[in-house]
Structure 1
Amino acid sequence: MKNNKIIARRTSVKNELGMHARPASKIAQIVDSACSDVWVCANSKRVDAASIIDILTLCAVKGTKVVIEIENQEDRMILDQIVSFFETGFGEI
């Protein structure tokens, strides 16, 4: 039986341009190897992290608080990669 307990980590958007197409694409690429669903939550919305368009609908500008959620313990490394990507300003700072 699969463990459905949500694992979440908080971070924020640190780069000047906020969430735009390039980082959204990179997040979707990271999530592509996930065993289960991964979500990005911000501005009272929860979206599929595998969808570039969904991520862009968050309208996450610099300073936006973000929560990344996974439902499968096996995806913890993916969670860590996404949080690290946010923490480094998407490689733009």
Structure 2
Amino acid sequence: MATRCSTQVTIVNALGLHARPAARLAQLCQQFHSRIELRQETKTADASSVLALLMLASSQGKSVEVIAEGDDAETAMQAVVQLIANGFEEG
């Protein structure tokens, strides 16, 4: 049975979720079997799609919900939260 989990995290890097962090996040999400989404206010994006992530227009200080569903959902969610909390390892 698939696991579903979610948590909130704040975008901390100065430029927000622009092209480079979106690509890094999408690559990370593609390593997992679970479906991973980011939800910001009323918008939801497939976290394995760079374009979908860019459409969220997440800027510094915005809170996003990380939602993962699948066999490795907990591990996937923790990896995504860590990447976002570390500012996508920029600078």
Q: Tell me if the contact between 2:45 and 2:53 (Cα under 8 Å) persists in the aligned partners.
A: yes
**Partner letter of residue 68 of structure 1?**
V
**What is the deviation of 1:75?**
2.7
**CA–CA separation in structure 2 for the residues paired with 1:66 and 1:9:** 8
**CA–CA separation in structure 1 for the residues paired with 2:14 and 2:34:** 31
TM-score by length of structure 2 reads: 0.90
Matches within 5 A, 1:53-68: 53-68=51-66
What residue in structure 1 maps to residue 24 of structure 2? 26
Q: Compute the RMSD of aligned alpha carbons.
A: 1.4
- List structure 1 segments (4+ residues) > 6 angstroms apart after TM superposition: none
Q: Tell me if the contact between 1:7 and 1:73 (Cα under 8 Å) persists in the aligned partners.
A: no
Name the count of aligned residue pairs: 91
- What is the percent sequence identity of the aligned residues? 26
- Larger relative strand fraction: 2
Whether 1:39 and 2:46 are equivalent positions in the alignment is no
